[in-house]
Structure 1
Amino acid sequence: MTGTTLYELFAASADRYPDAIALEVEGDEVSYADLHRHALALAGEIVARHGGVPARVALLAQRSVTAFAGYLAAQRLGAAVTPLNPGYPVLRNRRVCDLARVDVLVADESGAPQLADGLGDAAPTVLALDDDRVRALAGAGVGLAGYHGGPDDVAYVLFTSGSTGRPKGVPVPQRAAVAYVRHNVDRFAVGPGARVSHTFDLTFDPSVFDLFVTWAGGATLAVPRRAELLNPVDYLRDRRITHWFSVPSVVSVGDELGTLPTGQVTDLRYSIFIGEPLTYRQAERWQEIAPGAVVTNVYGPTELTVACTEFRLDLDPLRWPATSNDTVPIGPVYDFLDHVIVGADGHAAQEGELCVRGVQRFVGYLDSGDDVGRFLTYGPDGAEPYEGGGLTDEHYYRTGDRVRLEDGNLVHLGRLDNQVKVRGYRIELGEIEAALRRHDGVTQAVVVAVNRTGETELIGFYTGEEVPQLRRWLRRQVPLHMVPRVLNHLAAMPLNANGKIDRGVLRDSVAELATAGPA
């Protein structure tokens, strides 16, 4: 496994295993040689249409040859990829394109409708393609300059939910992505013959594992149709998946739907979970499905390149360590990264905020103003928050996650700020509130997160006019997973002694509103 960029990792496997299957999608098997050829041809088409090599490529595509070849084409050109989700509101995708200052927008059939609905001019060059067109592109690599990508180049830019209502751009350098990929190829023994799941949208950073851990190892990415993920056991069995990677809520949802029969999964070797707390109940249920697969719980924010900690459960549940909140530990931190747990007093502690630095730390937000307060240095006098002036390798990224060392293992205790995770998606409640306030009839808006039956739910409150169908309106402003289950109209927000909105009172009121229907 050689290379210092994601493209070089893929290209090395394409050279070594040209006839192996790199991709199974929509009933089609695509070899490494063919996928490489499609990527090179698409890279040439991008250069020809754009009139030069772009610096930033947006990808409005998913689960298609166009999507995967497009991602690789951008990597071959040394361009930073910004994935867009065709299922997100057009306004959100347009905002991301503007913030990322994209040069080229590539859309497949799933993304094409948004081109006519507001994204047709979101970049100087827009390519609308389908898989047949991509396969028909001729002259793989013709006219392309030699590859000059390096470890300091930006591999991709993902946008996380921002507390000001503006999504925050997270540029991840090649060196960070490659370090993560190399670690996971080795850790999970990904190689020829392995068959890896693809449960994550490209806008969700665990998809980097799906694509590039698979391809760096010379394995096969088995892309499911959406409906297949509602029956994960069928997908695991029929596709002979050896490596599964998903959010833990897949287990809970499958259990509720009755789609997790036992005794059918025999090929699975590794089960990896990320994005939200993995409870022991979920781990036990999954082990019943695939008793021979090793369950690993991993954790990490986008800023630390997908994951920076991992905890592997023993195959014998009697050897699983007890934790204070009945969730599987998330750590230790990768041994090639540095970390410190900062307590409330600013000094290292057994419980506090997890802060991490090292090769997988990103280079700072797209808007450097977002960096202030999100990093710190740590020395004999304790933590010193970053106030601006330039980031260095000495700066730790502040994850905002509260952890505790329990019997030598890291246990995740929740968020320190106003950020939550719902079904694995990281959400700033402030972004939802900002979206609600954009409605002419809304004066104030507050969204709180509550945990009921082991799942995080969003509940919203607003003042101003009582707006019928407000949830339906909000669905056109933010992704579906950011729409609160209930929006409650109030005459006025409760205030605390300091005159600030009392979120605690609102959370306490949720129990009384549990039976309320959607507004």
Structure 2
Amino acid sequence: MSDPQTVYGWFERSATAFGDDCTALEVGEEQLTYRQLRELAERIATRLVAFNGGVAPRRVGLLASRSVTAYAGYLAVLRTGAAVVPLNPEHPPARTARIAETAGLELVLADPSAADADPGVPLLVLGPGEPPPSAAGAPGGPPDGLPDPKTRPDDIAYIIFTSGSTGAPKGVPVSQANLCSYLGHVASRYGIGPGSRLSQTFDLTFDGSVHDLFVAWASGGTLVVPKRSQLLSPVRTINALRLTHWFSVPSLIAFASRLGTLEPGSMPTLRWSVFGGEPLTLAAAAEWQTAAPDSALEVLYGPTELTISCTAYRLPRHRADWPRTANGTVPIGTGYPTLDILLLDDDGRPSEAGELYVRGPQRFPGYLDPANNAGRFLPSGGGAAAAADSADLPLTEKHWYRTGDRAAMHDGHLVHLGRTDHQVKIRGHRIELGEIEATLREQPGVRDAVVLAVQASDGEPELEAAVSGTGCVDQRLYSALSERLPPYMLPRRIVTLEELPLNANGKIDRHALLARLGSSR
């Protein structure tokens, strides 16, 4: 059977195949079969069209979180042919309104938790049980008033807003073709079928959530949505919800470790464990594998601009076969077969280590604001300097996306070295911050570590470190570092925190940490 050509088509194929035989969505006590979820999505889609004056909208905001409305609403927006623009109800109203304006939203769909929101465009709030079932329309067919969306491959499926360097949210549109290409590679990767129970740990404003939704729904799996509070106790949540597939940021391993719940064999239901969004240390991977010995463990890497993930690495089952990397992280693997991968050194020449560039059918069509494209793309055959301007825009399929991530080849697999701005020069010495972090994480009692370059009183950059863990003694850490690293790589100070600050997506928040270090001087 050929793959569907639209994102909604992936879900619709499963809804036709599994009907009432399989549960598609589980949110708390609420469960919907594939037939019920499709019917609800189509009823909501009908409401959206009617609310928009009888015309199918072009872009719809989704201001909802961890509710049936959120997930059925996501499908409903796609069913109308519009692009989904996820909005977080916990974000400041001013940010939500700014995104609504930037994205050109015609309306916003919300659940009752956001009933008082004012996004600056018409707001459609759906309460429990709304819209009600309707007998209108042909049996088994869409309700009356719901037109054929006539979705095309180059239509936008969703828009994710990331933090921009100027402080303004930066819109990343991902096309139907981008996401369908991604699903064509990953949907069959994890052995999902009826009876599979997949976690939904990510907020809808983070593109990892798109993986959860459509990898589950492409093959008859059940999307299981934990409460936000449950995410802080991963082991207990996995067992309580009988999850077979887990996908999260690696920092949730630290939560489980701190609770002391990663005991051998403590997650017997897990068959697949996938981590992404930030580097996974080999030490954390070992802790998780001990607790879930029957689970395959895989790392995904990819910026939002390359549609969720573009490389993958699956750790061997036997620990003795695991790789050893200089920075202590699990490799990010190899590129997907439909993508081209390129490493360029500081002089713009192909190299075994350097900045990572990617092109192919998953590469997004360019930022919502074309001004953000400058410096982010490399024309075919151009050197790294050619990415600094946008003279050869508009973009073509030959353009490489400049990820801003540094990587190196290690035994045929890519190892993530950090962001290009995480390689710093201190008094003439070029330093990889990840190397210092890896050395700190190897010390007894240290759970995680971050090293930052901060401005000293003389205006020159200097290194400071923050660690989390128990029993961390600054002098002992300094001694351990001095035995392994040259003097110019030693942090001026090491601060011990109960836990490192995280952003809304569960990643370490370096900006918040920098502010915290500054206030403690």
TM-score, with length taken from structure 2: 0.80
Can you list the C-alpha shifts for 1:280-332, whole angstroms capped at 9, x where unaligned?
11100100110111110110000000000000001111100111100000021
Tell me the residue number matched to 1:404. 408
Taking the TM superposition and a 5 Å limit, the aligned residue runs for 1:56-455 are 56-113=59-116, 115=117, 118-119=118-119, 122-123=120-121, 125-136=122-133, 139=136, 141-379=143-381, 384-385=386-387, 386-388=389-391, 389-417=393-421, 452-453=466-467
Q: By how many angstroms is 1:449 displaced?
A: 10
- SS of residue matched to 2:113: coil
User: Counterparts of 1:238 and 1:272 in 2: how far apart (Å)?
Assistant: 19
Instruction: Give the number of aligned pairs.
Output: 441
- Aligned residues with identical type, % of pairs: 45
Determine if contact 2:233/2:255 at 8 Å carries over to the other structure. Answer: no
For the residue of structure 1 that corresponds to 2:386, the secondary structure is strand
Matched position secondary structure for 1:204? coil
Residues 439-518 of structure 1 mapped to structure 2, 5 A cutoff: 452-453=466-467, 484-485=512-513, 487=515, 510=517
**Distance in 1, Cα, partners of 2:33 & 2:92:** 34
Amino acid at match of 1:405: M
Moved more, 53-62 or 250-259: 250-259
Task: Show the counterpart of 1:472.
Answer: none
Q: For residues 265 and 382 of structure 1, do their structure 2 counterparts lie closer, same or farther at Cα, with a shift above 3 Å needed?
A: closer
Find the aligned partners of 2:510 and 2:327 in 1 and give their Cα distance: 26
Q: Is the 8 A contact 2:378 2:384 kept in 1?
A: no
Q: Deviation at 1:383?
A: 6.6
Q: Structure 1: which amino acid aligns with 2:193? A: G
> Equivalent residues in 2 for 1:31-50 (5 A)?
31-50=33-52
After superposition, the CA RMSD in angstroms is 2.7
CA positional deviation for 1:110: 2.3
Deviations 1:369-398 (A, max 9, x none): 111110002428777325233100000000
Q: Deviations over 1:311-369 (max 9, x none)?
A: 00011111001111000000211121011101111110011110000000000000111
Q: Per-residue deviation at 1:448?
A: 11
Deviation at 1:65, TM superposition (A): 1.1
2:417 aligned partner, one-letter code: L
User: Contact conserved, 1:41 with 1:142, CA < 8 A, in 2?
Assistant: no
Q: Distance in 2 between matches of 1:136 and 1:240?
A: 31
Cα distance in 2 for residues equivalent to 1:287 and 1:206: 22
Q: Determine if contact 1:248/1:278 at 8 Å carries over to the other structure.
A: yes
The whole-number CA distance in structure 2 between the counterparts of 1:486 and 1:391 is 36
Change (3 A) 1:398 1:454: farther
Letter in 2 for 1:393: E
Q: For residue 17 of structure 2, what is the aligned residue in structure 1?
A: 16
Distance, in Å, in 1 between the alignment partners of 2:270 and 2:16 is 27
Q: What amino acid is the match of 1:65?
A: V
In structure 1, the gaps of 5 or more residues are: 422-428, 430-446, 456-474, 489-509
Q: Which amino acid aligns with 1:82?
A: V
Question: How far apart are 1:451 and its partner, in Å?
Answer: 5.3
Q: Indicate if the aligned counterparts of 1:292 and 1:315 stay in contact, CA closer than 8 A.
A: no
